[in-house]
A and B are shown apart, each in its own frame.
Chain A
Amino acid sequence: MKKIKTPSELEKLRKSIVAGYDFSRSCITICKGTGCSASGATTVVDAFREEIKKQKLESKIDIRTTGCHGFCERGPLVVIYPEGIFYQRVSTEDVAEIVSQTAMRGRIIERLLYVDPVTGKKVVHEKGVPFYNKQLRLIFGNNGRIDPTEIRDYIGLGGYSSLNKTLFEMKPQEVIEAIKQAGLRGRGGGGFPTGRKWESCRKAEGDIKYVICNADEGDPGAFQDRSLLEGNPHSVVEGLIIGGYAVGAKEGYIYVRNEYPLAVKHVGIAIKQAEEYGLLGEDILGTGFSFSIKITRGGGAFVCGESSALMASIEGRLGEPRFKHVHATEKGLWDRPTTLNNVKTWATVPLIIDKGADWYAKIGTEKSKGTMIFSLVGKINNTGLVEVPMGLPLRELIYGIGGGIPGEKRFKAVQTGGPSGGCIPEKLLDLPVDYERLTEAGSMMGSGGLIVMDEDTCMVNVAKYFLSFTIDESCGKCTPCREGIKHMLEILTDISEGKAEKKDLEILEELGNMVKETSLCALGGSAPNPVLSTLRYFRDEYEAHIKDKKCPAGVCLELIQYSIDEAKCTGCGVCKKECPQGAISGQKKEPHKIDKKICIKCGICLEVCKFDAIVVE
């Protein structure tokens, strides 16, 4: 590939790519994101290729493997263009039929269609799926339309035209102004105004500056950054180059978890391709501006997502946070001015340059602009990644897009912002989701995790779970985080085992506030959130554990007991047969009994009983 030297050459290339598209041909796109791959998408792709070869349809049907579409719960996902027919949970057995029927003849295969759980109706087209059509997929939307390993796909959709515009039409300060005006805030969860960060880095003294993309996505259940890097790596690369130009950096780093091999691979390919096309490296687009990007793979410590720990890790030192009175924008990586932003922030940058700051500023709320990608998981029908404008009420996210709670269970809480976020109760379901509202509610935006919990969830147990995570990930350097979280977990454990006293709740709050206020980094600064928010909204549940020695949700093993309702038990003997401890006794056709001394509360009897006779209290 000859390097692109001028804006017109880039435009010419884009036109020739678009001209090469034959919209009359069928194109089968298969999601090869991590979720769909885990559901078998790789073998499905192979099957499609083989089938098309077998039927000698290479000239008639295109195949494109794409990044994550977000609706992982329904994977593997297949969309057939130009119609946009949407098939879900596709397996290799369906392949031949899809090729011959849908791709060649436009016939719909009913069994592969998505059924709207609310209306019960089948949906034919992707755009008709409620999960999608209620979203605003600005930065995530192209994932399903391009092959992430093919720069031409990205350019064909207008990719790198923002870079072009930046380098030829804007001064660095103008880029910063645009970002400021757009109101973009850090998508890593901190929500710091991106433009201001860039500005202080630009103003900082020093010839050498750096930009860093933080792709050390460590929150359990979060995979937005991963999906973006895997599915549309060029958008991040383009954002980084623009950022580098704006702050005056010539080098960028993408710090990505080594647990994301596909993301590492795709970003690597993207960097190489961008270099080949003259969009990255020396003398970009003939402007004299040079910028290079290196990939640093993380070693798996959660705390390395914290910016100072991340920089220490890039420098080859122990990945632990360091307190610095001076901001990284003045003294960051190797003590040089450094701008660090999250993957989603960088991916938003080209969009703002392309469509304008005003356009972007119209989306979202007064203080939180644009869209946010959430990972919707837990007790929810439509598990997956969703991109919505800031300010959308939680209810709309959970019921409108998420399709509500499975099994007719009642919603109890949603935990936002990853392991250090807080739990938001039902009464706040109409809360508009933005940085300020979530913080006010005792939680946070964080990386955009949304874990939905139903009535079977014990909030003490939830708090305990998240604290166990942060304890494992705490580096142990500062006193509050190291000692405080541990002590909080000890108290929670005592509560869940019925060994706590009422005063322990006060201690929990004291400890929580201390850890929050005094920890060295954001890990400790936010770790108590799950405890403090559940204490705030579900204090009665804590009190039930302490006073009544009961777990209302029936989760905490030490506080529950299994028994058999004699009125309901038919004496079928299934539970007795399945009990691994031999704790159940009784004659055939007569009510059975559980020996509480032997019972380990594993719950197998509850699962196997067909007569609802097992009682947990």
Chain B
Amino acid sequence: MASDTPSAAAHVFEQTEMLLNMGPQHPSTHGVLRVLLKLDGETVVDLDCDIGYLHRGVEKICEHDTYPMITPYFDRLDYVAAVNGDLVYVEAVERLMGVELPRRAEYLRVILAELQRIASHLLWLATHALDIGAATIFLYAFREREEILKIFENFTGARLTAHAFRIGGLQWDANPEFVRDVLAFLDILPGRIDEYETILSENRIWLARTVGIGVLTAADAIDTGLTGPVLRGSGVAYDVRRAAPYSVYPEFDFEIPTGDTGDTYDRYLVRMQELRQSVRIVRQAIEGLPEGSVMAARVPRVIKPPAGEVFHTNESPKGEIGVYLVSDGTNTPYRLRVRPPCFVNLQALKQLAVGHLVADVVALIGTIDIVLGEVDR
């Protein structure tokens, strides 16, 4: 702006920042996330996340419920990966009680948890691709996810909020068709993953929207507390299944895929590889599935873990989910804290998005893979 006198031309070139409210009813925020964007033109200058629209006070409710009554609430934290939520809670209680599980129960738990990881990643792929504009993938991924949900339905009795595990084992042994169904699904899935990658991995539009978008260095990612595929996309091979092994994961052979540059495309590649690794784990678990009981023999009818505390973490599809359980020896927890991976990972959105275009924010929310049920609890 050259002249000091106000003129029409000067007004046109005047620089203003604009506040844009995205959500909580925006389809690509994957729930009730509200993002306040400060824009300079189309570039994001600053942003602030407003969360809490789905806050149900689960941690408070848990202090007033007995131990078995809490498991269904963990289905509803990360409702697209309910089984992983169940797993971390029942394992935390079992660890405090010192319950030793039959091997069949452990194997069935791993199979269900890995199937849930596949289902969650497929849902992520479907919605992330749809956000960016690849609508074909959406229905393809949902089609495969449906098969997993059918397996869950036949095994546990519900498709999404499975309530799969009980403290001390499982409620039911596998249904008779379980092994057949899972093997049939495992035969289909790798070919379908190839199809997704044929559609996306080299597609120039996909590359333009993901390569170089939201780059996080390894040091930055750790500093921000990221876990899960978002951290591994930045090249840190940190996976709780290896870092602090739980259940029977040490018995399985699998790799931890990592990315190089830490951009959105790398995180996509990491999750696609994780799908294949999960298929590997499920196949090994099905082949080695032992016979026997699915409930530990010495689980008391009224569950009263001894006074003490434990912090137990699992690798959920979104990252490291943890339960910090403080027991005072009664039948309700004294304090139960959920370490939510989505909540912590969402914090990185600001770092990722500043400097990018407003359309990339959609891609970046997708790449973090959040579920608001877990962010808000």
A binds B: no
Report A's interface with B, CB cutoff 8 A.
none
